Chains A and B, each alone.
Chain A
Amino acid sequence: MRILLIEDDSDAAGFLARGLKEAGHVVDLARDGDSGAELAHVNEYDVLVIDRMLPGRDGLSIVEERRTANDPTPILILSALGQVDDRVKGLRSGGDDYLAKPYAFSELLARVEALARRPKPAQAETLYRVGDLELDRLSHTVSRAGQPIPLQPREFRLLEYLMRHAGQVVTRTMLLENVWDYHFDPQTNVIDVHVSRLRAKIDKEFDRQLLHTVRGAGYVIRDDAR
C-alpha cells in the first residue's frame, strides 16, 4: 500500500515510517502541512495519515480540502486531543478514523490496514466466508462446515466486524468503537472475554482455529490452511 504520513514530530514520524515500511507499505513522509497537502494533491495514496496539529497549516484543513476535492482516499487523523468531542470534530471534517496520542503502533497499523480495505458501502457483501465459516448478513445466520452456530446479536456483530476485516489485525479499541460504539476505556479486559466466548462458539468443536489472538495488538480471523 502507498501511504502518505503527515507528521511534524520527527521521532514519531521516523518511527511510524519505519514501522509501516517494515509492514510492507510504501511511505511518503511530509513534515509540515503545506508540503503534505501538496503531496496529497499530486500523488495517489491508499491511505492518508494526518497529524492534527502541524506547522504551516492545520491538519483538519487538509482533510477538508481532500474531501472538497472529492478525493475518496481514507484518512486517519492523529491527535493529542483525544476527547470524544475532538473525535467527533475530526470525523465530521471528513476523517474516516481518529487515533488519540499516545497510541500503540500496532493500533495504528491495524487501523490503517482496516481503512485501506474498507469495502465501499454499495459493494458491501452479504455473505462473508473464512475457511469453512460462513456469515450471512441477510438471514443473520452463522454456520461452520454446514453446521449452524447460534449467536447472540452482539456476538453476531462482533463476528461480522472481524470477518469483514478477515486477515487483518483488529484491535480491542477498534472492536469497542465499532461493535459497541463506545470510545471509553472499560478498564477490565471486557473485550477479551467477549472474544473468547465467541471463539468458544466458532472454534472449540473444530480442529482448525480461525480466530487468533495477536499478542500485544488484538485479534485476527483467518484460515491458516489456505
Chain B
Amino acid sequence: MSFVTTLGKLFRTTAVKLTLVYLAVFTALLVGLILYISTTAGDLLDRQLRETIDAEIRGLSEQYRSSGLRGLVNAVERRSVAPGASLYLITDFAGNRIAGNIDSLEQSSLSTPDGEARPVQYTRLVGPDEEASKPRRALVRVFVLPGGFRLLVGRDMEERFEFRAIILQASQWALLAAIVLGLVSFLAVSRRVLKRIDAISEASNLIVAGDLESRLPMVGTGDEFDRLSGSLNAMLDRIEQLHDGLSRVSDNIAHDLKTPLTRLRMQAEVALSQADSEEALREALQATMEESQGLIRTFDALLMIARAEAGSARVTKVSVDLAQVALDVAELYEPVAEEAGVELTVDVPDDAIVQANRELVGQAIANLIDNAIKHGGNERESARVSVTLTPDPARVAVTVTDNGPGIPAEDRDRVTGRFVRLEASRTTPGSGLGLSLVEAIANVHKGRLELGDAGPGLKATLVFPRLGTQLPSER
C-alpha cells in the first residue's frame, strides 16, 4: 500500500475526521484564551499606569503648592535620575524645558493639557556618553501649573509592548506545538486503529470467500476491537454450526429419504408388473400410500427441526402450564401404553408455568413418552414408564424414565443427531428424528434435553427455564 493511498484512507476514517474537529475546536479555544488574557492583562497594566501617573501628579502638585517652583524642580530632578520608567518634564509657558528627563516630545502633546493621560512618542534625555535614544512610546499626563508652567508626568510603555510581544510569541509556539502534537498523536492512534480494522476486514474477506473456519483476529487487550471481534466470532461460530447442520441435513435427506423413496418406487413397480388382481393392486396402492405418509411425516419432522434450530424468534410463546401439557400428553398415550402392556405413571405437581409454545412442548413430551413406550421394558419385565415433573423457582424439569436397555453413556451425545438410530432400535418403526426434534424444541425454549441412566433404563429430562431466568451452562 503506497503512502498516498494510506493517507487517503486515513482521511476517510472517522477517527481522523473527529481528530480534525477536535483540533479546530481546541485551537479556537486556545486562541480565545490568549486573546482574553492579553487584553485583560493590557487593561490592567493600563489602569496601573494611569493610577501611578495620577498619584505622582498629586504628589508633585502638592510639592509645588508647599515649596513653589524651586521645590518642584528639585523634586523632579531628583526623581528624574532615579532608574525606572517614570518620565518628568517641566516647561515654561513657551514650552522650554526647565527640568525633567524627556529630551523631545511631540509639540502638540504639551499644548493640550486636558488632564487625561494620553499615549505619545518621545525621546529620552541621555547622558553625554550614551547613544542618542530612539523615539519611544509613553503614557503622559500634562498638568498646567499657575504661572503658565506645565508639568508632564508619564510612564514609558515599551516594557508593556515587550510583555505583550512575549505573551503573543509564547502563545504562538504553544498553539503550534499543540497542533503538531495533536496531529502526530492522532495520526499514530488512527493508524493503529486502521491497522486493526484492516486486519478485521481482511479476515472477513477470507470468510466471505468461503473460508468459514477462519476467525477475526483478537489481540487479547480486551479493547473495543477485541470485543467486536469476539462477538463477530461468536456469530461466525453459530453460522458455521448452522451451516454444518444444513449440510448434515442435506446429506441425511439424500441418504435416509432415498431409502423409503426407493421402496415406494419398487412397490409401485412390482404392483404394475406383477399384481394380477384388483385386490392385489388395491393392496399395493395401500402400501404405497402408507409409505408416502411415513415420508411426509419424516419431512414434517425435519422441517420442524430446521425451523426450531433456526431460532426461537419466530416461534410464538405464551404462558403454558407444563404440568397440564404433560398430563394431556400422558393421557393421550395412556390407551396405547395400556394396549402395549406398559405401566404408565404420571406425577406432576402444579406451578409449572413457563413461557413456551404448547404445540412444540407437547410434541417433545409426546416423543419422549413414545420412545419410552417403544423401547422401555426388557426380557424379564414389561415396560414401566413414568412421567414426573419437578418445578423449582428457576426451572421446570419434565422427566420421562423407562426400564429399557437405556442408552450407553458414549452414545448419549450422538442420539440427538438426525436420523441416528441405535442398533437395538433398528427393528422398531421410527425415523430417528424423535430425539433430535426434542432437542431442537428444548433449544427453542432456551432449555435443554438431558439424557441419563435410570438404572436400568433411560432417563430423559427436558429442562425449561422460567420467565426471565437462564439455565446455567452445563458444559
* Residue contacts A-B, CB under 8 angstroms, 12 given: A84-B316, A85-B315, A180-B328, A183-B359, A185-B300, A186-B366, A187-B367, A188-B370, A189-B336, A190-B332, A190-B336, A193-B339
| A124 to B304 Cα, complex, angstroms | 37
Q: Assuming the A-B contacts A185-B300, A186-B370, A187-B370, are A193 and B336 also in contact, with contact meaning beta carbons closer than 8 angstroms in the complex?
A: yes
Q: Report the number of A-B residue pairs with Cβ-Cβ less than 8 Å.
A: 60
Q: Could you list which residues of chain A lie within 8 angstroms of chain B, going by C-beta atoms?
A: 82-85, 88, 102, 104, 154, 180, 182-190, 193-194, 197, 216
Residues of A contacting B363 in the complex (Cβ-Cβ under 8 angstroms) = 184-185
The secondary-structure label for the interface of chain A is loop
Tell me if A184 and B366 are in contact (CB < 8 A): yes
Residues of A contacting B286 in the complex (Cβ-Cβ under 8 angstroms) = 216
Tell me if B331 and A154 are in contact (CB < 8 A): yes
Instruction: Give the residues from 423 to 465 in chain B that come closer than 8 angstroms, CB to CB, to chain A.
Output: 430, 434
Give the 5 A-B CB pairs with smallest separation, nearest first: A184-B363, A193-B335, A84-B359, A193-B336, A190-B336
| A130 to B241 Cα, complex, angstroms | 57
Question: Contact check: which of A83, A182, A194 meets B362 at CB < 8 Å?
Answer: A182
The secondary-structure label for the interface of chain B is helix
| A189 to B304 Cα, complex, angstroms | 20
Tell me if B357 and A84 are in contact (CB < 8 A): yes
| A194 to B359 Cα, complex, angstroms | 20
Interface size on B, residues (CB 8 A): 32
Tell me if B359 and A187 are in contact (CB < 8 A): no
CB distance from B297 to the nearest CB of A (A): 6
CB distance from B311 to the nearest CB of A (A): 13
Q: Closest residue of chain A to B371, judged by CB?
A: A187
Residues of B contacting A184 in the complex (Cβ-Cβ under 8 angstroms) = 359-360, 362-363, 366
CB distance from B121 to the nearest CB of A (A): 95
| A103 to B302 Cα, complex, angstroms | 17
CB distance from B367 to the nearest CB of A (A): 7
Tell me if B362 and A187 are in contact (CB < 8 A): no
CB distance from B267 to the nearest CB of A (A): 16
| A193 to B335 Cα, complex, angstroms | 6
Q: Assuming the A-B contacts A85-B316, A154-B331, are A182 and B359 also in contact, with contact meaning beta carbons closer than 8 angstroms in the complex?
A: yes
CB distance from A188 to the nearest CB of B (A): 6
CB distance from A70 to the nearest CB of B (A): 29
CB distance from B229 to the nearest CB of A (A): 36
